[in-house]
Structure 1
Amino acid sequence: MEKDTELKEQVIGALKSVYDPEIPVNIYDLGLVYDVGVVAGHVAVQMTLTTPMCPVAGSLPGEVETKLQELPGVVSAQVELVWEPAWTMDRMPEEAKLQLGLF
């Protein structure tokens, strides 16, 4: 259980290193990641994109999976792209909104 907690922290750190190419904020702080699960080294991530017409819709989930699979201790990584609930800027923390000049 403790290993899963540590690995989940590493997974979140890796997610924070992936950026939407059109927005200078990482996908985690953008609120695009809805759920992160880690059980015995198996990682499952549910995420969305800012819009279904996002130009990286076909490549970003695979990029995230690859980045997660590179982490020590990850046995497998699966990224599920979901559209419900729809992403809104309300999912972003204040720090990300400040970074984008939304205040």
Structure 2
Amino acid sequence: MSEITIDTNELGEKIVRVLKTIYDPEIPVDIYELGLIYDVFVNEDHDVKILMTLTSPNCPVAESLPQEIQEKVKSLDAVNDVEMELTFDPPWSQDLMSEEAKLELGML
């Protein structure tokens, strides 16, 4: 059997690794550590849904960033389809940033 089986948790970890390669253009921290990704869902068919926010509703990359994320995640071999959902509830705040991101930005 040559088909590679990958479980949803493993695929979820691969997706997070991809998300950590995408940076907010205004802040030198990746979108995952920045806290812009609220949730990543992967079903048995390897369809992915990403729930995310932006630093503000007027963010200059409101159109391009979700598209970049979708394209990069979809480029993973095991991913079937990617759906992006943008939300501002709850609104993004610096509290959502990881310790690593706060350290990187000199906030600790």
**Where do residues 19-98 of structure 1 align in structure 2 (5 Å cutoff)?**
19-40=23-44, 41-98=46-103
In the alignment, the residues of structure 2 paired with residue 79 and residue 65 of structure 1 have an alpha-carbon distance, to the nearest angstrom, of: 7
In the alignment, the residues of structure 2 paired with residue 17 and residue 72 of structure 1 have an alpha-carbon distance, to the nearest angstrom, of: 17
In the alignment, the residues of structure 1 paired with residue 47 and residue 54 of structure 2 have an alpha-carbon distance, to the nearest angstrom, of: 23
- Report the AA paired with residue 47 of structure 1: M
- List runs of 5+ in structure 2 lacking aligned partners: 1-5
- Report the AA paired with residue 85 of structure 1: P
1:83 offset after TM fit, Å?
0.7
Identify which of 3, 12, 16 aligns with 1:12. Answer: 16
What is the aligned residue count? Answer: 102
Secondary structure of the corresponding residue to residue 80 of structure 1: strand
Give the ranges of 4+ consecutive aligned residues of structure 1 lying more than 2 Å apart after TM superposition. Answer: none
In the alignment, the residues of structure 2 paired with residue 16 and residue 95 of structure 1 have an alpha-carbon distance, to the nearest angstrom, of: 12
- List runs of 5+ in structure 1 lacking aligned partners: none
- Report the AA paired with residue 59 of structure 1: S
Normalising by the residue count of structure 1, what TM-score does the alignment of the two structures yield? 0.96
Q: Output the aligned Cα RMSD.
A: 0.9
Taking only the aligned residue pairs, the percentage that are identical comes to 50
